[in-house]
Amino acid sequence: MEVIILSSKKEVCKEAAERVVALVNRRHNAVLGLATGRTMLGVYKALSDAYRKERVDFSSVVSFNLDEYLGLSPDDPLSFHHYMHEHFFDHVNIKQENRLIPDPLPEDVDRECEEYEDAIKKRGGIDLQLLGIGKDGHIGFNEPSSSLRARTRVKTLTNETLIDNFGNTDGPRFAITMGIGTIMEAREIILVALGAEKADAVSRTVEGPVTASCPASALQLHPVAKVIIDTAAAQSLKRKDYYMWVWEHKRQVEKPHLLYKKRGE
């Protein structure tokens, strides 16, 4: 797991967005796994800016959202359909038919989940999955105790998540979410976390045991998982200085002229 600690929220979002831009420029028909939540707003803003500046073209990209609340209409302001339109789809050129999000009002929920999994397979699997993280360590809506091998299915949200997302426990109780097993099949994963309120979840994800009590800790088993966070979200990491040293020197290795300059000094 690579841990990248940056000093501001803006830098974190830009770093995550630039990795998406680089992938799409390399692979025009990339399959992206997309997330929602406040954390992702800056990432979508940076991606929309890159599109506006003609630095990236999403016309052949396919996207799959991680999750959606059950029972809300897609135009309900609380739905992830609405969120995605407002913050991303309305600002870039991903084709309508290539923006996939679980149906919040399916006739047959189990069939919807199976078809979502099939659609991901049919498109060749996810190249890059973006993730936020809940304060309890959930990714997508895989709440603590979720099976680390589960596929797309319905999950019941915890009171903590309802309060975090709606301010009370009256919001939608159920959601369709990709499972940890689905997420782990993405070729690359970038988890973004911002702020001190995520510090505990981040430390359990990166330095804790792999456990269903912190579903994001399963990412320790992924070969290409990156955690991009600000200093506040990194504050409880024991090996923070090491991660920072590695990141700084890795950038020097990627730019060998910096090393040569140092040698010549």
Does 68 contact ligand GLP by CB under 6 A?
Answer: no
- What residues between 105 and 144 interact with ligand GLP by CB under 6 A? 132-134, 140-141
Does 37 contact ligand GLP by CB under 6 A?
Answer: yes
Q: d(Cα 202, Cα 228) in Å, to the nearest integer?
A: 10
Handedness of CA 98, 104, 109, 110 (dihedral sign): positive
Handedness of CA 49, 51, 53, 55 (dihedral sign): positive
CB 47, CB 20: distance < 8 Å = yes
Q: In the annotation, is 138 catalytic?
A: yes
Does 39 contact ligand GLP by CB under 6 A?
Answer: yes
Stretch that binds ligand GLP, among 35-43, 107-115, 205-213, 238-246 (CB under 6 A): 35-43
Does 35 contact ligand GLP by CB under 6 A?
Answer: yes
Contact with ligand GLP (CB under 6 A): which of 67, 112, 127, 136?
A: 67
For the chain, give the longest Cα–Cα distance: 69
Which residues lie below 8 Å from residue 113, measured CB to CB, with a gap of 6+? 102, 151, 152, 153, 154, 176
Does 33 contact ligand GLP by CB under 6 A?
Answer: no
Q: What is the dihedral of CA 70, 108, 87, 125, to 10 degrees?
A: 130
Q: In the annotation, is 75 catalytic?
A: no
Q: In the annotation, is 265 catalytic?
A: no
Between residues 48 and 79, which has the closer beta carbon with respect to ligand GLP? 79
Does 38 contact ligand GLP by CB under 6 A?
Answer: yes
The residues binding ligand GLP (CB under 6 A) are: 35-39, 66-67, 132-134, 140-141, 161, 165
Q: What amino acid positions are annotated as catalytic residues?
A: 67, 136, 138, 143
